[in-house]
Amino acid sequence: AQSVTQPDIHITVSEGASLELRCNYSYGATPYLFWYVQSPGQGLQLLLKYFSGDTLVQGIKGFEAEFKRSQSSFNLRKPSVHWSDAAEYFCAVLVSPGYSTLTFGKGTMLLVSP
């Protein structure tokens, strides 16, 4: 079965510093991968997605992610974190291209220190 692992439950980053959130997946075929962000009391907002092609994908709010098949990873990065980036981040994989069903990781809570 497909699974997604986000090894870090919490991460604290200083404002202006770079960020990398880790995501590892287990999937038999070429995965469809996503990163979502959730602010307190809100729903999920899609940051970026990978379907195929270029392994470095750009998203909204200055985020990017790199797909590495050899490492089964899809890590999220941002060169300079802003205080407004504090939120919970979820990595997800599509169960099957024929469905809209997503399997999510447990999430990483990002705290931004001044």
Q: Which two tokens stand for residue 10?
A: 């919490």
Kindly report the length of the chain.
114
Binder among 9, 10, 20, 51 for other proteins (CB under 8 A): 51
44, with CB counted inside 10 A (0-12, 13-18, 19+), is middle
Instruction: Using the rule CB under 8 A, give the single segment among 10-18, 44-52, 54-62, 67-75 that binds other proteins.
Output: 44-52
Q: Given candidates 28, 29, 40, 43, which one binds other proteins under the rule CB under 8 A?
A: 43
Nearer to other proteins, 43 or 114 (CB): 43
Q: Is 40 in the site for other proteins (CB under 8 A)?
A: no
Count Cβ atoms within 10 A of the Cβ of residue 35 and give its class: 0-12 exposed, 13-18 middle, 19 or more buried: buried
Q: Which residues are at the interface with other proteins (CB under 8 A)?
A: 32, 36, 41-46, 49, 51, 90, 92, 94-95, 97-107
